[in-house]
Amino acid sequence: MADLALTLNEEQLTILKDAALDFALSHGLVVRPPSSTDDATGQQGGVINAPVTLFPTPFPSNAFNNAVRIQPLYNQLVHDISQDDAFLKEIMESLSTVDDFVKRLYDLYLEVKKEGIVQPASLGLHRSDYIIHLNPGQDFSEAEIKQVELNTISVSFGSLSSLTGDLHRYLYATTGYFSDKIDISALPSSDSIESIASGLASAHKHYGSKTAKVMMVVQPGERNAFDQRWIEYNLLNKHGVVLIRKTLAEIADQGRLDPKTKALFIGDQEVSVAYYRSAYATTDYPTEKEWDGRLLAERSLAIKCPTIAYQLVGAKKVQQVLAASGQLERFVKDPVMVAQLRASFTGLYPLDDSSEGLAAYEAALKNSDELVMKPQREGGGNNIYGKDIQEALKTLTAEQRNAYILMDIIRPPITKNVLLRKGQLQRADVVSELGVYGIYLHDGHKVIRNDNGGHLLRTKGVESNEGGVAAGFAVIDSLLLV
């Protein structure tokens, strides 16, 4: 595929581009542009193609299969950590002194726990993100996965990633990519649209009311609504479950709890599952009303996806602590499983006042070229790289540094592709990041579901440090297994 990005002529690329744009618009592989509201009518305006690659990207099959194999282990790990109050307390109390957002979330968690958790069941729709790492002298097929982060709230692009794989298969079927050297059978399909909807349907069924609705908690003016709508349509068409969309502010304004059962009602509609596609960033809580909406949902009988405990487990500090000796073993007793999970870890270091944190701080001041500094934030655009780390560290107090961790930069193989953004093509040297979705449902006593849920590949130009599609750094891709 890398050769095609270089050798196809402009006419051939234009044919592929036109076909890709028509496919995207016909199949809902689209996003809203940054400003898409008609001021005169107040109605939503046009759409543009979701940013994608023209070609699937080669990816080692062994690395892919390993990521899929260990996802259920990560699903279980998230749940087990969420049940350990002492572990969460130790981490969150230290973060709360330097991170106001984490403090608000943790305070809300403590408030709900003190009142008594009404709904023991919990649904996790997670995504573990990896970059492949090649050691010197290794063949591409021997590359290893290294975890970038584990996302436990508002995991996105499950739908558009599935459609991007369909797009690549369509382009191959209709044009052969103008080459007789391509074997598209090595492009694995992703069932993440169906899997995510199926997970929500399982939680809805467990809730036990046929007339209740699943509630997707969304951001106002959501640009990525079409990724979400595919889940809504699949939930209705395949499972007969209706989904409603509400912002945190709308929950506060329109929501109420049944005095006896604590069932959540939005108007006259009972809510079976509160599925968060927002609520992960400070910008999702511009006023106290949004916090009121979150608290109302958390106090309710609705099954949360995720619970606040699951959301807290997704903090980068938790990822770093688990990498320390003996910490993962606190939750995973099987040594084989421990070895499988640890093999996916990269170097992770604290920036607190421990001896390890002070050593990491001093080392970063001397040489930060091979490091990334990460806060407890989701959504892309928050990390600090290279020489900027040294400048940032000089402005932070010892206490403030505790809000961050350091991670070894993973150096993936560089390949070539053609990116399609806003109808325009760009040939580029690129690197890719794999995400594997997981579906986990627990009733408070036992596991009901622990499954894989499809995959996502995001690709970005080598000049970009960040990897978020919604944040504008990357495009959606699919895998060609080799």
34 assigned binding-site residue: no
Number of Cβ atoms within 10 Å of the Cβ of 120: 10
194 is an active site residue = no
Mean of pLDDT values over 122-149: 92
- Look at the domain 348-409 and name its fold: Dna Ligase; domain 1 (3.30.1490)
Is there a catalytic annotation at residue 149? Answer: yes
What is the rounded average pLDDT of the residues 338-362?
92
Q: Choosing from 149, 194, 250, 298, which is the catalytic residue?
A: 149
379 an active-site residue? yes
Confidence (pLDDT) at 170: 96
- Residue 262 in marked binding region: no
Q: Is residue 115 annotated as involved in ligand binding?
A: no
Is 308 marked within a binding site? no
Q: Which range is least confidently modeled, 221-230, 361-370, 460-469? A: 460-469
Catalytic annotation present for 374 = yes
CA-based max dimension of the chain: 69
* pLDDT value at 316 more than 50: yes
Query: How many Å apart are CA 265 and CA 150, to the nearest integer?
Result: 32
Look at residue 229 in the predicted model and tell me its pLDDT. 98
Average pLDDT, the chain: 92
> Residue 379 pLDDT > 60, yes or no?
no
| Cα distances (Å, whole numbers) of residue 403 to 28, 87, 145, 371, 374 | 39, 17, 26, 16, 9
Catalytic site includes residue 156: yes
Taking alpha carbons only, the member of 54, 185, 53, 157 closest to residue 436 is 157
Global pTM?
Answer: 0.92
pLDDT over threshold 60, residue 27: yes
pLDDT-based confidence at residue 411 (cuts at 50, 70, 90)? confident
3-state secondary structure of 266: strand
- Whether 408 contacts 374, CB under 8 Å: no
User: Residue 3 above 90 pLDDT?
Assistant: no
Burial pattern 406-444, b for ≥16 Cβ within 10 A else e, equals bbebbebbebbbbbbeeeebeebebbbbbbbbbbbbbee
Of the chain, the percentage scoring pLDDT greater than 90 comes to: 77
Taking alpha carbons only, the member of 41, 22, 54, 23 closest to residue 476 is: 54
Report the C-alpha gap between 69 and 183 in whole angstroms.
24
Query: Which residue among the candidates 28, 347, 379, 461 is catalytic per the annotation?
Result: 379
Instruction: Tell me if 52 sits within 8 A of 476, measured CB to CB.
Output: yes
Q: What is the pLDDT of residue 43?
A: 46
Residue 466 labelled as part of a binding site: yes
Query: Is 155 known to sit in a ligand binding site?
Result: yes
pLDDT at 40: 43
Please write the tens of the pLDDT for every residue from 87-110: 999 999 989 988 999 999 999 999
From the list 159, 198, 458, 478, the catalytic residue is: 458
Q: Is 245 a catalytic residue?
A: no
Locate 474 and state its tokens: 């990357």
Q: Which of 32, 127, 294, 304 is catalytic?
A: 127
Active site residue 65: no
- At residue 469, the pLDDT reads 54
What pLDDT shows up at residue 41?
40
End-to-end CA distance of the chain, in Å? 11
Instruction: Kindly give the pairing relationship between strand 447-461 and strand 475-477.
Output: antiparallel
pLDDT tens sequence across 36-94: 444 444 445 689 999 999 999 999 999 999 999 999 999 999 999 999 999 999 999 98
Percentage helix, strand, coil for the chain under 3-state DSSP, each rounded to 5: 40, 25, 35
pLDDT in the model for residue 146: 95
In this predicted model, what pLDDT tens digit does every residue of 212-228 receive, in sequence order? 999 999 999 999 999 99
* pLDDT at 466 (0 to 100): 52
- Catalytic residue, chosen from 146, 317, 374, 401, is 374
CATH topology of domain 59-160+190-346+427-481: Rossmann fold (3.40.50)
Annotated ligand binding at 389? The verdict is no
Catalytic residue among 66, 122, 128, 156: 156
Domain boundaries, the chain: 59-160+190-346+427-481, 348-409
Lowest-confidence segment of 200-204, 249-253, 415-419, 464-468 by average pLDDT: 464-468
- Using CA atoms, how far apart are residues 441 and 456, in angstroms rounded to an integer? 21
* 393: confidence class by pLDDT, cuts 50, 70, 90: very high
For 260-300, what is each residue's pLDDT tens digit?
999 999 999 999 999 999 999 999 999 999 999 999 999 99
Residue 379 is labelled as binding a ligand: yes
